[in-house]
Amino acid sequence: MSDSPLPAAIYRTDRALRDGFWIRALLLTLALGFLLLFLFLPLIAVFVEAFAKGYGLFLESITEPDALSAVRLTLLVAAIAVPFNLVVGVAAAWAIAKFEFRGKSLLISFIDLPFSVSPVISGLVYVLLFGAQGFLGPWLKAHDIEIIFALPGLVLATIFVTFPFVARELIPHMQALGSSDEEAALTLGASPWRTFLTITLPNVKWSLFYGVLLCNARAMGEFGAVTVVSGRIRGLTTTMPLHVEILYNEYNSVAAFAVASLLAGLALVTLALKTYLEWHFADAISAKSRH
């Protein structure tokens, strides 16, 4: 008698598990199928196309002068835009997380603005402002300063589009940490600068890395805003995404995919680092002991 409830209970759990299994299988198939169709296949296609005419042509495509100049320009733009956004993003996040002031929520909305504005519009704004027919155009021309269709324009557009990444990562983390660590350091006699370097930065370093990583990926891959301000002077103002598009429009698909595969490679590296950081980041808060 006393044994009878037990098998029934096991049976129920068993059935519940089996029901869950079919639902899980269905959801997993859907998710994996979607990923396969819309992510992995295109990604594989990029690499297949890139190497379609052999390794030699691939190498040639990415080492011809225009391609190399596109790579150089992309790296240069990122090398300026990312550190700039790093500094300004940290400053903005610091101000928002540690101080109370009027218009704080407005500032947070403004930081998000580049995410909600179409990149093309972001680029157009700079053309309207700095272009030959633009608001500041005549003055810039008189002083022989080139912004649009030159490096400064590309950098400005990239900075605008990628600005939110660092600040957006840092703000919630800094808010969650509060200010008492910094207050403790200050009461112990540390200068504000020392407090920032030895307390604030180490506390948020993982989210900072994470933000910089995403910011960099976007800075190198940005197309919309950059295309408007670039003017596409081949070998001079074409970044890698623009170079890919030009080649593709010229039906030079091997070269287009060869350069695209470099960008895809960057995306894969970013993804790997991001996953590693996410894994490490969750870990870092609970146990910093393994350093």
Partner 1 sequence: MSVAVTIESVQKSFSNFAALRGVSLDVQPGELVALLGPSGSGKTTLLRLIAGLEQADDGRVLFDETDTRRLSLRERRIGFVFQHYALFRHMDVASNIAFGLKARPRSERPSASEISRRVSELLELVQLGGLERRFPTQLSGGQRQRVALARALAIEPRVLLLDEPFGALDAKVRKDLRGWLRDLHRRTGHTTLFVTHDQEEALELADRVAILNDGRLEQVGSPDDVYDHPATPFVCEFLGEANKLPVEVVGGQAFFGNRPVLGGLQQNQGGAASLYVRPQHMRIVDDTPLALPGVVEDLRRNGPLRRAEVAVEGLIRRIDVDLASQVAPAIGERVRLRITHGSLFAAA
Structure tokens at 268: 């894969």
**Structural contact between residues 90 and 111, judged by C-beta atoms closer than 8 angstroms:** no
CA distance 275 to 175: 23
Can you tell me which of 43, 190, 266, 277 binds partner 1, judged by CB under 8 A?
Answer: 190
Apex CA 19: angle with CA 14 and CA 25, to 5°? 120
End-to-end CA distance of the chain: 59
In the complex with partner 1, the residue whose CB is nearer, 22 or 101, is 101
Structure tokens at 271: 């993804």
Phi-psi region of 178 (alpha: psi -120 to 50; beta: other; left: phi over 0): left
Can you tell me which of 88, 181, 196, 266 binds partner 1, judged by CB under 8 A?
Answer: 181
Residues in 32-91 at the binding interface with partner 1, rule: CB under 8 A: none
**Structural contact between residues 221 and 268, judged by C-beta atoms closer than 8 angstroms:** no
Q: Is residue 180 within the footprint of partner 1 (CB under 8 A)?
A: yes
Structure tokens at 158: 């990239």
Q: Is residue 183 within the footprint of partner 1 (CB under 8 A)?
A: yes
Q: Is residue 289 within the footprint of partner 1 (CB under 8 A)?
A: yes
Can you tell me which of 202, 272, 275, 276 binds partner 1, judged by CB under 8 A?
Answer: 202
In the complex with partner 1, the residue whose CB is nearer, 141 or 288, is 288
Task: State the Cα torsion 193-195-196-202 to the nearest 10°.
Answer: 140
Can you tell me which of 12, 72, 141, 288 binds partner 1, judged by CB under 8 A?
Answer: 288
Q: Is residue 267 within the footprint of partner 1 (CB under 8 A)?
A: no
**Structural contact between residues 160 and 114, judged by C-beta atoms closer than 8 angstroms:** yes
In the complex with partner 1, the residue whose CB is nearer, 133 or 187, is 187
Q: Which stretch binds partner 1 (CB under 8 A): 75-83, 151-159, 222-230, 280-288?
A: 280-288
Q: Is residue 105 within the footprint of partner 1 (CB under 8 A)?
A: no
Q: In angstroms, what is the minimal distance from the CB of 205 to partner 1?
A: 8
Structure tokens at 102: 């009027």
Site string for partner 1, 225-264 (x = CB under 8 A): ----------------------------------------
Of 227, 231, 228, 232, residue with least CA distance to 125: 228
Q: Is residue 280 within the footprint of partner 1 (CB under 8 A)?
A: no
Q: What is the DSSP string of 61-88?
A: HHHSHHHHHHHHHHHHHHHHHHHHHHHH
In the complex with partner 1, the residue whose CB is nearer, 15 or 194, is 194
Q: Is residue 282 within the footprint of partner 1 (CB under 8 A)?
A: no
DSSP 279: H
Q: Which stretch binds partner 1 (CB under 8 A): 135-143, 145-153, 194-202, 235-243?
A: 194-202
Residues that bind partner 1 (CB under 8 A): 180-181, 183-191, 194, 198-199, 202-203, 285-289, 291
